[in-house]
């Protein structure tokens, strides 16, 4: 374990020296290239700010308007039919939009049910097994200017539901 620790202490400086050495050998000005890359990265970030503001606003509206609770209550009978805790339905929904908002909901679940409870374990595993679909699509597709996403959303929804299903099966096996 100490070898891994030693390597991790030196890996970033070694990579920086390799990059600087390669730039020197190729006769390139590494600093100017770095500045140009940083400018391009900043332009991408500025272009993504409206999308981030829209996502943050949408998540806030979902949480504070009661729409999320209403949608969860509509889906609760289906959740009970498949033996899924209705308290975790809002977590599944909000995770598709924002990981930080989902983490906030998970902390509320921890406070109510406990971290080692069925709901706490299932919520934790679900967050680790699913992706923020809307965030991913909006950020990555906006940065490369993709207009037609084709099958990304249906595929991502299927994978997310699969992650939720597998998480449920695993926690059921663990808690049995």
Q: Where are the domains of the chain?
A: 48-175
d(CA 154, CA 175): 31
d(CA 55, CA 149): 18
Neighbours of 103 (CB within 10 A): 15
Token digits of residue 122: 């299932």
pLDDT in the model for residue 147? 81
pLDDT in the model for residue 1? 59
Tens digit of pLDDT at every position of the chain (176 positions): 578 888 888 888 888 888 888 888 888 888 888 888 889 888 888 887 887 788 778 777 877 888 888 888 898 888 888 888 988 998 998 898 888 888 888 999 999 999 999 999 999 999 999 988 888 888 788 778 888 888 988 999 999 999 999 999 999 888 87
Residues 6+ apart with CB under 8 A from 171: 118, 121, 122, 125
């Amino acid at each position: 374990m100490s070898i891994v620790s030693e390597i991790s202490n030196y890996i970033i400086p070694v990579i920086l020296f390799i990059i600087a050495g390669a730039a020197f050998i190729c006769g390139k000005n590494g600093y100017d290239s770095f500045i140009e890359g940083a400018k391009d990265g900043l332009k991408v970030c500025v272009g993504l700010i409206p999308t981030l503001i829209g996502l943050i606003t949408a998540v806030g509206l979902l949480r504070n308007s009661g729409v999320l609770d209403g949608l969860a209550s509509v889906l609760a009978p289906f959740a009970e039919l498949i033996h899924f805790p209705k308290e975790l339905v809002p977590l599944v929904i909000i995770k598709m939009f924002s990981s930080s908002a989902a983490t906030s909901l998970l902390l509320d679940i921890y406070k109510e049910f406990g971290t080692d409870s069925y709901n706490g374990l299932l919520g934790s595993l679900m967050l680790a097994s699913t992706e923020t679909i809307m965030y991913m699509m909006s950020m990555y597709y906006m940065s490369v200017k993709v207009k037609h996403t084709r099958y990304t959303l249906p595929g991502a929804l299927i994978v997310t539901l699969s992650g939720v299903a597998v998480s449920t099966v695993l926690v059921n096996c663990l808690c049995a």
